Amino acid sequence: MNVSEITTRPFEGQKPGTSGLRKKVDVFRQPHYLEDFVQAWFDTLEGYRGTTLVLGGDGRHYNRQAAQTILKMAAANGVGRVLVGQGALLSTPAASCVIRKHRAFGGFILSASHNPGGPDGDFGIKYNITNGGPAPEKYTEAAYQRTLGIDRYRTLDVPDVDLDTLGESRLGDMVVEIIDPVSDYVDLMAELFDFAALEKLVQSGVRVCFDAMHAITGPYARAILEDRLGAPAGSVINGVPLEDFGGGHPDPNLKHAHELVEIMYSDGAPALGAASDGDGDRNMILGDRFFVTPSDSLAVLAANATLIPGYRDGLAGVARSMPTSGAVDRVAKDMGLPCFETPTGWKFFGNLMDAGRATFCGEESFGTSSDHVREKDGLWAVLAWLNVLAARPGQSVADIVRAHWKRFGRNYYSRHDYEGLDTGAAEDLMDHLRATVPGLEGMSLEGYKVATGDDFAYTDPVDGSESVGQGVRVMFEDGSRIVYRLSGTGTEGATLRVYIERFEPNPARHGIETQEALADLIGIARGLAEIEARTGRADPTVIT
C-alpha cells in the first residue's frame, strides 16, 4: 500500500459547533481543508486501526467528493473496513443505526443538516463515536486542538472508489463495503413499531403527507410509508434527494416547509403531515390545520409511549435540552419518571441513554428520538405519531394535543431567531445579558416577577463532565422563562435565538394564538436584551 504523506498547514476555525464542522462549500473546497480536519480525527482517536467505520451523508453538493477523500485517508490511516451508504448517502439516524448494528468503531457523517446546500450553500462533517452518537465535547475539543498544529496528512494516491455498486472492494489494505443505506434502518423501525397496525390505519383511509424537502429522507420515507405501509403513491412529496435540495432550505418549520403547510391547512387535509430536514434527524408534525410544537410533541409521545410496541414496558426517563419547553417535565412528574435538562445539541443525551437513564429525548428545534439510536430521528417521530393515532382511533392530532393540554396544562412556547447578525454586536448583546440578568432577581417586569437569572451550566450526571456558557436564562416565579443563546450551526454572521415560554394551567385559556399568549414576555425579552438598539433588528427573521 502506497501511503502518501502530504505536507499541510493549519486552517483557522476548524472548531466543531453544536453539531460538527459547518462551513460554506467554498471553504471546504480549499486544498487540504477537509483533509486537515479528517486527519485531526485520525490523530486524536485511539484504537481505530483495523476496525470498521461508517461513512455517508445527506447527499448535498460536495458529498461524493468528500466521501472519496475520506475513504482514501481512512485506508492510509489503517482503518480496516468502511461501510458506505450507496451513493455515499446515509441519513443521520440511519448512520447511527448502522454504527450500532454493525458494531463499528464510529463514523463520519457528511451533512450541514438544515442549512441550505448547493455550490453556494453549506457543507458539514461530524464524527460519531461507537455508541452511534455525536462525539462529545472532549473528542471534538481534542480534534480541534490538533487542527491548530497539523502539518501533514495521510492519503492513498489511487483512483476513486465506485460508490454506487453494492458489495465489497479494496482500497489499499482496507475493505470498502457499499451497503443499502435504507434497509438496516427500516428493519429497526419494524422492530419498534407495529407495522401491521400502521398498515391497517393507512388502509382505512387515514392519510399521511410527508415532505422530504428534496433531502435525504425521501428514500427512507418511501420505503416505509409507501412500500411497507401501503400509503398511496404521492404520500411522500419532494422525495428525490437533490444536491441543492431543489434550491430550498431543508429546515422543517412553518416557514421553510411551506408546501406541506399549504396542504395541511387546506380543505380535506391529511390526518398527519410531517417534514424532515437535510440529514433526516429533524421532524415537524402537523395535524389537519394544526401545528404541534416540538416541545409538545416530545411531551405527548412520552405520555403515550406505552401505546407503542417498542416502549410497551415504559420509559426509564426523559430528557430535553434546556431551551425546550417544560411540557415533558410535567409528564415525567405525573408518571414518576426522571427528567433531565441538558445543553443544546444531541451529543449531551448520549451518556444518559447509554446509562439507561433516558429513553425519550427531545429538543425544541424539531428534534425527537429515543434510545434506539443515538441521534435525533425524524421518521421515528413520524412513525411514533402514526402509532399513537392507530392506538387512539377516531382522535385527530389536534384532539390528542388538546386533551394533553387539558390534563397537563399548556406550555405556550415560541422561538424567535435573528439571523445574519453582526458577530461582534451579537456577542456584546450576550455579554450584556450575562452581566445584567443575575441582577434581575426579585424584580418585577410588566407584572412578571423574576425568580432567578443565570448562564446555564451543566454537569453530566454520568461522567461528571462540565459544560458552561450554554445560554442565558431569565426564570419567572410563575414558571415562565426567557432564554437567549447564539447558534452554533450557522455559517454567516451570528444568529441570536430567543426562546419564550409561559405555562397556562387553565383549559379555558388554551385556545389563544401563541404569539398573542406570549406577547408580554416577547416584549420583555426584546427589552432586556436591547435587541433593536444593538442589532438594528425590530423583528426576528424566523419565528417557530
Residue 121 near residue 60, CB atoms below 8 Å: yes
455 φ/ψ angles, rounded to the nearest 5 degrees? -110, 120
Cα angle at 271 between 300 and 266, to 5 degrees? 120
Q: x/- contact string, 378-407, with Co ion (CB under 5 A)?
A: ------------------------------
Q: Which of 113, 295, 411, 470 binds ligand VG1 (CB under 6 A)?
A: 113
| 476 vs 499 by CB, closer to ligand VG1 | 499
The whole-angstrom separation of Cα 322 and Cα 324 is 5
542-543 β-sheet, strand order = 444-445, 448-455, 472-476, 481-486, 494-504, 410-421, 542-543
What's the closest the beta carbon of residue 27 comes to ligand VG1, in angstroms?
17
Question: Does 279 interact with Co ion (rule: CB under 5 A)?
Answer: yes
The whole-angstrom separation of Cα 479 and Cα 390 is 34
Question: Does 349 interact with ligand VG1 (rule: CB under 6 A)?
Answer: no
Cα angle at 190 between 132 and 108, to 5 degrees? 20
Question: Does 346 interact with ligand VG1 (rule: CB under 6 A)?
Answer: yes
The whole-angstrom separation of Cα 539 and Cα 544 is 13
Annotated catalytic residue within 19, 96, 113, 235 = 113
**Candidate ranges 173-181, 306-314, 359-367, 453-461; the one touching ligand VG1 (CB under 6 A):** 359-367
Residue 104 near residue 98, CB atoms below 8 Å: yes
Q: x/- contact string, 14-33, with ligand VG1 (CB under 6 A)?
A: ----xx--------------
Q: Which of 128, 344, 359, 370 binds ligand VG1 (CB under 6 A)?
A: 344
Cα angle at 322 between 319 and 326, to 5 degrees? 70
Question: Does 114 interact with ligand VG1 (rule: CB under 6 A)?
Answer: yes
All cell numbers assigned to 57:
451523508
Q: x/- contact string, 258-277, with Co ion (CB under 5 A)?
A: -------------------x
Total number of residues that touch ligand VG1 (CB under 6 A): 18
Distance of CA 324 to the CA centre of its chain: 13
Strands 367-370 and 360-363: antiparallel
Q: Among residue numbers 284 through 343, which ones bind ligand VG1 (CB under 6 A)?
A: 321
Q: Among residue numbers 333 through 372, which ones bind Co ion (CB under 5 A)?
A: none
Contact partner at residue 100 from Co ion, ligand VG1, none, CB < 5 to 8 Å by partner kind: none
End-to-end Cα spacing for the chain: 53
The whole-angstrom separation of Cα 77 and Cα 188 is 32
Q: Which of 137, 277, 288, 377 binds ligand VG1 (CB under 6 A)?
A: 277
Q: Which of 91, 253, 370, 489 binds ligand VG1 (CB under 6 A)?
A: 489
Contact partner at residue 351 from Co ion, ligand VG1, none, CB < 5 to 8 Å by partner kind: none
Question: Does 281 interact with Co ion (rule: CB under 5 A)?
Answer: yes
What's the closest the beta carbon of residue 361 comes to ligand VG1, in angstroms?
11
Total number of residues that touch Co ion (CB under 5 A): 5
What's the closest the beta carbon of residue 422 comes to ligand VG1, in angstroms?
17
Q: x/- contact string, 103-132, with Co ion (CB under 5 A)?
A: ----------x-------------------
Compute the chain's Rg from CA coordinates.
23
- In the annotation, is 113 catalytic? yes
What's the closest the beta carbon of residue 282 comes to Co ion, in angstroms?
5
Question: Does 184 interact with Co ion (rule: CB under 5 A)?
Answer: no
Q: What is the DSSP string of 73-139?
A: HHHHTT--EEEEEEEEE--HHHHHHHHHHTT-SEEEEE--TTS--STTSEEEEEEE-TTSSBPPHHH
The whole-angstrom separation of Cα 310 and Cα 297 is 18
What's the closest the beta carbon of residue 77 comes to ligand VG1, in angstroms?
26
The whole-angstrom separation of Cα 283 and Cα 381 is 7
| 134 vs 270 by CB, closer to Co ion | 134
List residues near Co ion by CB under 5 A: 113, 277, 279, 281-282
List residues near ligand VG1 by CB under 6 A: 18-19, 113-114, 277, 281-282, 321, 344-346, 363, 365, 367, 487-489, 497
By annotation, the residues acting in catalysis are 113
